[in-house]
Amino acid sequence: MKKISMKFPKITPWIIWVGFLSLMIAAGVAAGLMVFWKGLVVTNLTDLVPWGLWITIDLSSIAVAAGAFSLCAGVYLIGLKRYHAVARTATFIGLIGYTMALLSLVMDIGRPDRFWHALVYWNKHSLLWEVTMCVTLYLTVLLFESMPIFANLEWLQTRFPKLTDKMKGIHHYAPYLAVVGLGLSMLHQSSLGAVYGVLKARPLWYRPDISVLFIISAVAAGMSMTVFVSMLSARLSKRIKVDDSILERVAFFIGWILVGYLYFRFWDALSMTYTYDPGRTEGLKLLTSGPLSFNFWVGEMLLGIVTPMILLLNGRTRALPFWRMLALALVVGGVVAYRWDTNLAGFLVVLSYLPGLPAVTYTSYTPSLIEFMAGGGVVAYGMLAVSLGVRYLKVVDHDELHEEEHAHQAKLVEAATTGD
Amino acid sequence: MAEKEFNRRDFLKISGVGVTALAGLKMIKRAEASSSVEGAHQWAMVIDQSKCTGCGYCTLACRAHNDVSPDISWNKVIQVNDINGKDVFIARPCMQCAKAPCVDVCMVGASYYRPDGIVMMDYDKCIGCRYCEAACPYNARAFNWEAFTGSNPAVPEWGQPEVERRGRGVVEKCSFCYQRIDRGLQLGMIPGVDPDATPACVVACPVGARIFGDLKDPESNVSKLLRERVSYQLRVDLGTSPRVYFLPYGPEGA
């Protein structure tokens, strides 16, 4: 037996996948160190386009994390207990998503050593202050919500059985955590849109709809990511069992969210086409016929909303794993494209402040290699973390039904009834 | 069992009310709106476009006094027009808005109002998120993408800057030379009248196109000029209430 374990590990697809991600992370760490060493001059950001690729990754990973609050709310507040296992997957993806966001932000700010200022010095008027507070608090909520998941680690279970018992016990508070999570997420998922939406100097952004669109798209992307990861895991490993009827229902629901999302996007965009508004009209043109038009029409609309909407609402395509997974991946891609386009369309249009009718000029932005490497590292970290979670923490697991958690629940009910 | 349901619903209700109340409170506070506290002085600048020749001395003086990097201009001089063969310029310092978007959006409060209306930067607080750059309609802010090292070509051999150089990773902008105003007031001088208490760009202007003074004092140069002459501010439609006024170009003004 010992001889076998001494042998070089067999090259499995898993090893290749982990190796590939590790390489990406290593490149990302190297790029990140360059950023800390040389400063943000290594990026292609300018005073006119101060936010770029990393902010897109930050916004997208928070959007993808939105499955956690929405599915937890569904399970613990609306009472759709059947979806418990999916909410569990979403919670873990949420946790990873938020840590990805923090990683990209630490690189993006000019003084990473002062990141704690955001928590200590408060300007309550700032949307970013609100986002910081909500994200920090919600990350704490997610950590608590993920405790029962981390308790699944075999190594921890054998060494500290009492600790893992306690960690599993946190499950009792799931409904309360879900309420707090819902409140915090509703606030900051929308405020991330409002970060742009309150800037009067940028007419393309200055509108209330943007916060509504941010949260709807986030819920679509978050749920899609959750179901996609669940389906992919079950297909890649025989040990992982999923209840496909549940995933199919969530996918159907995502289809309807896309209908709502498209509806709001349509009226939002249409209302901006009337009358000439300096800056706004040009921004919209960038999206519909300018350099961002392919992203907008193909990435966001056709592939990001319309195609998956049809694939997920049509029972026949939804039943086929390939088409359903394709649709879910497209939703995530579409939302990432939406974040990228929103950020860039507002910055690329430079509105003059000189007297007379504001004149418009354009600037450009293409991320530098370092930005791509560092951003890729953050994404690879997220993928690796989720992969490890699926493999070692049973993040995707509809089979076991978490007997212990149910035992706790039973005890609680018993206590409540005997207490009367 | 029924009672348990009730409890949870109650809890939800209370949380809902709580969140709404919190949001409401926030909005009320927001409506009260941060604007500069009205102090004893309200500094303002008037720039006369009839006089400005676009020589750029103001920018140079600004660089020298505030140790601004050659990559950054706190004060930009831009040619805006060509009227009857005469070039017309506009100079753009920080507008020192009474309702400054940058102060509103700064998450750590590194941008703040002084009682005298100057929009200040606390370079020790700034984390370099650059949200203020996105919010400022005047592009008056610049980020230190890299460290500015070595000697400043704008600083002459016989003098030295009055303020500390900003480090890498923070956003910087014009401060109406607050250091000159504060020191001047301490020495009993009047900013806008005594050169040593007046912003460097105003003092350096060879044609006297810049006038500085206290809006609170009806007899100050700026108050008188704004009463007597037609003036305008930039992008007032945004509700920023800038404290930099421009006297438009016109042959009668010169």
Q: In chain A, whose CA is at the least distance from the CA of B124?
A: A114
Task: Identify the pLDDT of residue A57.
Answer: 98
Same domain (yes/no): B167, B231: yes
Same domain (yes/no): B61, B27: no
Assess if residue B254 is contained within a domain. Answer: no
- Does the pLDDT at position B1 exceed 60? no
Task: Identify the pLDDT of residue B32.
Answer: 43
Task: Identify the pLDDT of residue B27.
Answer: 54
Encode pLDDT of A231-253 as tens digits. Answer: 999 999 988 999 999 999 999 99
Task: Identify the pLDDT of residue A88.
Answer: 94
Residue-averaged pLDDT of chain A: 92
Tokens 């010992």, residue located = A2
Mean pLDDT of A20-44: 97
Tokens 């009337």, residue located = A274
Q: Where are the alpha helices (DSSP H) in chain B?
A: 2-32, 57-66, 101-105, 131-135, 178-186, 200-204, 221-228
Q: What's the CA gap between A82 and A250, in Å, rounded?
A: 11
Mean pLDDT of A50-73: 97
Assess if residue B252 is contained within a domain. Answer: no
Task: Identify the pLDDT of residue B232.
Answer: 96
| Range among A45-54, A73-82, A159-168 with highest mean pLDDT value | A45-54
- Does the pLDDT at position A103 exceed 80? yes
A52 SS3 class: coil
Residue B83 — pLDDT band, cuts 50, 70, 90?
confident
Assess if residue A3 is contained within a domain. Answer: no
Three-point CA angle A29, A30, A32, nearest 5°: 60
Task: Identify the pLDDT of residue B16.
Answer: 62
Same domain (yes/no): B55, B120: yes
Task: Identify the pLDDT of residue A398.
Answer: 87
Please state the separation of Cα A30 from the chain's center in Å: 24
Task: Identify the pLDDT of residue A154.
Answer: 86
Task: Say if the Cβ atoms of A200 and B232 lie within 8 Å.
Answer: no
Calculate what percentage of chain A has a pLDDT beyond 90.
84
- Does the pLDDT at position A5 exceed 80? no
CB A384 within 8 A of CB A390: no
The CA–CA distances, whole Å, from A343 to A195, A264, B134, B135 equal 11, 19, 10, 13
- Does the pLDDT at position B133 exceed 70? yes
Assess if residue B13 is contained within a domain. Answer: yes
Mean pLDDT of A351-355: 91
| Closest of A405, A390, A372 to residue A27, by C-alpha | A372
Quote the number of domains for chain A.
1
Same domain (yes/no): B79, B9: no
Task: Identify the pLDDT of residue A403.
Answer: 53
Same domain (yes/no): B49, B21: no
Task: Identify the pLDDT of residue B12.
Answer: 56
DSSP A281-311: HHHHHHHHTSTTHIIIIIIIIIIIIIHHHHH
Assess if residue A9 is contained within a domain. Answer: no
The CA–CA distances, whole Å, from B149 to A45, A98, A312 equal 21, 37, 58
User: Chain B within 8 Å of A221 (Cβ-Cβ)?
Assistant: no
> What is the DSSP code (8-state) at residue B220?
S
Interaxial angle between packed helices A84-108 and A369-392, expressed in degrees from 0 to 180 and rounded to the nearest 10: 150
Q: What's the CA gap between A176 and B141, in Å, rounded?
A: 44
Choose the weakest-confidence range: A94-103, A157-166, A336-345, A346-355.
A157-166
Task: Say if the Cβ atoms of A183 and B19 lie within 8 Å.
Answer: yes
Calculate what percentage of chain B has a pLDDT beyond 70.
83
The CATH number that applies at residue A296 is: 1.20.1630.10
Assess if residue A320 is contained within a domain. Answer: yes
User: Element (H or E) spanning A256, and its range?
Assistant: helix A244-272
Assess if residue A7 is contained within a domain. Answer: no
Residue B171 CB partners (closer than 8 Å, separation 6+)? A110, B121, B126, B128, B130, B132, B133, B141, B142, B143, B144
Q: Where are the alpha helices (DSSP H) in A48-173?
A: 53-64, 66-72, 84-108, 117-120, 127-150, 154-159, 161-169
Encode pLDDT of B93-114 as tens digits. Answer: 999 999 999 999 999 999 999 9
Q: What's the CA gap between A357 and A373, in Å, rounded?
A: 42
Q: What's the CA gap between A114 and A112, in Å, rounded?
A: 5
User: Element (H or E) spanning A405, and its range?
Assistant: helix A403-419
Which residues of chain A neighbour B75 with C-beta distances below 8 Å?
Answer: none
Same domain (yes/no): B17, B127: no
Q: Which of A117, A129, A182 to mutate to test the interface with B (most CBs of B within 10 A)?
A: A117
Quote the number of domains for chain B.
2
Which residues of chain B neighbour A176 with C-beta distances below 8 Å?
Answer: 11
Handedness of CA B228, B232, B238, B240 (dihedral sign): negative
What tokens appear for B81 in the block?
């027009």
What tokens appear for A285 in the block?
């043109």
User: Chain A within 8 Å of B9 (Cβ-Cβ)?
Assistant: no
Task: Identify the pLDDT of residue B33.
Answer: 43
Assess if residue A311 is contained within a domain. Answer: yes
Same domain (yes/no): B62, B25: no
Task: Identify the pLDDT of residue B56.
Answer: 95
Q: Which of B127, B132, B172, B173 to mutate to test the interface with A (most CBs of A within 10 A)?
A: B127
- Does the pLDDT at position A166 exceed 50? yes
- Does the pLDDT at position B26 exceed 90? no
User: Chain B within 8 Å of A121 (Cβ-Cβ)?
Assistant: yes
Same domain (yes/no): B227, B109: yes
Q: Containing domain of residue B19, as a range?
A: 1-32
From the CA of A129, how many Å to the nearest CA of chain B? Answer: 5
Same domain (yes/no): B9, B65: no
Residue B64 — pLDDT band, cuts 50, 70, 90?
very high
Assess if residue A65 is contained within a domain. Answer: yes
- Does the pLDDT at position A122 exceed 50? yes
- Does the pLDDT at position B11 exceed 70? no
Q: What's the CA gap between A57 and A336, in Å, rounded?
A: 8
Task: Identify the pLDDT of residue A73.
Answer: 95
Mean pLDDT of A112-134: 94
Task: Identify the pLDDT of residue B34.
Answer: 44
- Does the pLDDT at position A60 exceed 80? yes
Which residues of chain A neighbour B71 with C-beta distances below 8 Å?
Answer: none
Same domain (yes/no): B65, B11: no
Q: What's the CA gap between A259 and A253, in Å, rounded?
A: 10
- Does the pLDDT at position B37 exceed 60? no
Task: Say if the Cβ atoms of B107 and A39 lie within 8 Å.
Answer: no
Mean pLDDT of A295-301: 97
Task: Identify the pLDDT of residue B177.
Answer: 97
Same domain (yes/no): B72, B10: no
- Does the pLDDT at position B42 exceed 90? yes
Mean pLDDT of B240-246: 97
Task: Identify the pLDDT of residue B7.
Answer: 61
Q: Containing domain of residue A155, as a range?
A: 15-419
Q: B23 or B119: whose pLDDT is higher?
A: B119
Q: Which of A132, A200, A342, A365 to mutate to test the interface with B (most CBs of B within 10 A)?
A: A200
Please state the separation of Cα B76 from the chain's center in Å: 13
Assess if residue A2 is contained within a domain. Answer: no
Encode pLDDT of A128-164 as tens digits. Answer: 999 999 999 999 999 999 999 999 888 888 889 889 9
From the CA of A407, how many Å to the nearest CA of chain B? Answer: 17
What tokens appear for A302 in the block?
């056709």
Task: Identify the pLDDT of residue B111.
Answer: 97
Assess if residue B253 is contained within a domain. Answer: no
Choose the weakest-confidence range: A151-155, A259-263, B63-67.
A151-155
The length of chain B is 254
Of A39, A346, A417, the CB nearest to B168: A39
Mean pLDDT of A312-327: 97
